[in-house]
Amino acid sequence: MASLYQAQKKIYPRSVSGLFSRWRWAMVLLTQLVFYGLPWLEWGQRQAVLFDLGLKRFYIFGLVLYPQDFIYLTGILVISALALFLFTAVAGRQWCGYACPQTVYTEIFLWLEKLTEGDRSARLRLDASPMSLNKLARKTGKQVLWLAVSLWTGFTFVGYFTPIKELGLSFVNLGMGPWETFWVCFYGFATYGNAGFMREQVCKYMCPYARFQSAMFDKDTLIVTYDAARGEPRGSRSRKADPKALNLGSCVDCTLCVQVCPTGIDIRKGLQYECISCAACIDVCDTVMDKMSYPRGLIRYSTQNAVAQGWGHAKVLRRVFRPRVLVYTAILGAVTIGLFLSLALRTPFKVDVIRDRASLARIVGGGKIENVYRLQVMNATESPQSYRITAYGLPGLVLASEGRVDVDAAQSRWVAVTLQLPYEAASPGSHAINFEIEAIDSSARVTEKSVFLIPR
């Protein structure tokens, strides 16, 4: 019977050291320092970075954003996408190899695996051996460490959406709410599954970036390349042997580049979509070249054009400034400047006006028509503010309620506002009016449209 499904062979990546490995670990440390550390930072009396979904307020250091500021989130997403286009066109999948959470957590999990089960050959032996106390202890130790990291990651993730100190206290007192528990477990489980078990399969089959990156690549994009002209014909030989006399290239066919590859590919077969540009194969091949006293760089970061035409660094660098890169840079620069300008110039408070549906319009004493509104005033600054409310748009329109509202720092407040108009001042129907809300110190002003109803 022919099976339509081919089971994945488990990959046992060998650990590697070298220049790019150090860069990868530097990125692991940097990204994780930011991810795990940021929610514990304080800004004044509150958490510096907090996306408080309950209160519908986002705090990013001195910035207080409301749902009405959603446009900035859109701007950040557009900038991220453009940056990805630009960096991919220039440097290929560097994001995948050094900073993508999938790579970063897989690196951490592989390190814990090596700590408990040993390097590649020891792991291969352990998996092939029958169950024993030693095997059980090593396997259990690994799972416990993986679970601890996963749960801590889930906890930290939730700490961006609910104050992390309170979350920590409720965790210690076993009093976490059902939603918080669900999301800690959900995100923790995703980390555990993706970094512990699925690993390269996420990059190969689940990540959309791997699929559409080819549209952003060209022959001048930096990729990890094997110099076939120099390496072939490959073959083993002694260190002292002269490869020319043996009619061999520089590749000693040690397969170490395949053994260190986290996605299990052989870079000597050429550029493949599974390659995440992690450069582990460069590091290991350089050590082989050193041992053989051959020049380094049989596998190296280069471009297809550079390898095919033997270009030097200077020419490769010049090709970075090609039209598509310049266009991406110009658009990215314009959108980034636009976002920062609009953030710098934005009004430090927002107002929503809602008509009171319980009493659309009524006649009150003195022959006046009265309309009632509810105003939500949102203070987006870090200090308490007072605002003056006025309305205009119809002759004789007056404010019949409190004309001043005080709002605490980074808080919002609902106030009922009553407007009155002499009965004969306008014809029956709906009339456009404006509310003007101004900071008491006249530093900012917001105008909101509404309508005044006059019954027949």
Residue 288 or 372: the one with the smaller Cβ distance to ligand SF4 is 288
Q: Is 280 in the site for ligand SF4 (CB under 6 A)?
A: yes
Q: Is 299 in the site for ligand SF4 (CB under 6 A)?
A: yes
Based on its alpha-carbon atoms, the radius of gyration of the chain, rounded to whole angstroms, reads 32
Provide CB contacts within 8 A for 277, sequence distance 6+: 92, 93, 94, 96, 97, 223, 224
Query: 57: part of which helix (H) or strand (E)?
Result: strand 57-60
204-212, 275-283, 329-337, 398-406 -> range binding ligand SF4 (CB under 6 A): 275-283
Q: Residues for the chain: how many in total?
A: 456
371 and 53 Cβ atoms separated by less than 8 Å: no
C-alpha–C-alpha distance, residues 278 and 96, integer Å: 7
Residue 53 or 206: the one with the smaller Cβ distance to ligand SF4 is 206
In this chain, which of 207, 254, 394, 446 binds ligand SF4, going by CB under 6 A? 254
Residue 106 or 277: the one with the smaller Cβ distance to ligand SF4 is 277
Instruction: Please list the residues that pair with 343 across neighbouring strands.
Output: none
- Please state the closest distance from residue 67 (CB atom) to ligand SF4, in A: 41
In this chain, which of 253, 352, 356, 436 binds ligand SF4, going by CB under 6 A? 253
C-alpha–C-alpha distance, residues 185 and 191, integer Å: 10
How many residues bind ligand SF4 (CB under 6 A)? The answer is 30
Q: Is 195 in the site for ligand SF4 (CB under 6 A)?
A: no
In this chain, which of 277, 302, 379, 450 binds ligand SF4, going by CB under 6 A? 277
Q: Is 288 in the site for ligand SF4 (CB under 6 A)?
A: yes
Q: Is 285 in the site for ligand SF4 (CB under 6 A)?
A: yes
Nearest 5 degrees, angle CA 299-CA 12-CA 145? 120
In this chain, which of 134, 255, 347, 430 binds ligand SF4, going by CB under 6 A? 255
Q: Tokens 């514990």 sit at which residue?
A: 40
C-alpha–C-alpha distance, residues 182 and 151, integer Å: 11
- Specify the long-range contacts of residues 27-35, CB closer than 8 Å, at least 24 apart: 27/98, 27/99, 27/104, 28/104, 28/107, 28/108, 31/99, 31/101, 31/104, 32/104, 32/108, 35/153, 35/156
113-121, 172-180, 269-277, 410-418 -> range binding ligand SF4 (CB under 6 A): 269-277
N-terminal to C-terminal alpha carbon distance within the chain: 83
Residue 255 or 347: the one with the smaller Cβ distance to ligand SF4 is 255
- Please state the closest distance from residue 33 (CB atom) to ligand SF4, in A: 24
61-69, 113-121, 126-134, 274-282 -> range binding ligand SF4 (CB under 6 A): 274-282
Q: Is 86 in the site for ligand SF4 (CB under 6 A)?
A: no
Query: 395: part of which helix (H) or strand (E)?
Result: none
- Please state the closest distance from residue 435 (CB atom) to ligand SF4, in A: 59
206-214, 238-246, 251-259, 346-354 -> range binding ligand SF4 (CB under 6 A): 251-259
Q: Is 284 in the site for ligand SF4 (CB under 6 A)?
A: yes
Q: Is 279 in the site for ligand SF4 (CB under 6 A)?
A: yes
- Please state the closest distance from residue 272 (CB atom) to ligand SF4, in A: 7
In this chain, which of 50, 248, 252, 332 binds ligand SF4, going by CB under 6 A? 252
C-alpha–C-alpha distance, residues 359 and 361, integer Å: 6
Subset of 207-226 contacting ligand SF4 (CB under 6 A): 224, 226
Q: Is 372 in the site for ligand SF4 (CB under 6 A)?
A: no
Phi, psi torsion values for 354, nearest 5 degrees:
-125, 135
Please state whether beta strands 429-439 and 445-454 pair in parallel, antiparallel, or not at all (unpaired): antiparallel
Residue 149 or 224: the one with the smaller Cβ distance to ligand SF4 is 224
Q: Is 261 in the site for ligand SF4 (CB under 6 A)?
A: yes
296 and 289 Cβ atoms separated by less than 8 Å: yes
CB count in 10 Å sphere of residue 179: 11
179-187, 213-221, 267-275, 352-360 -> range binding ligand SF4 (CB under 6 A): 267-275
Q: If you write DSSP's letter for every residue of 112-156 in order, what string do you get?
A: HHHHHH-SHHHHHHHHHSPP-HHHHHHHHHHHHHHHHHHHHHHHH
In this chain, which of 64, 210, 251, 439 binds ligand SF4, going by CB under 6 A? 251
In this chain, which of 50, 265, 380, 405 binds ligand SF4, going by CB under 6 A? 265
Residue 16 or 184: the one with the smaller Cβ distance to ligand SF4 is 16
Contacts to ligand SF4 by CB under 6 A: 224, 226, 231, 234, 251-257, 260-263, 265, 267-268, 275-281, 284-285, 288, 298-299
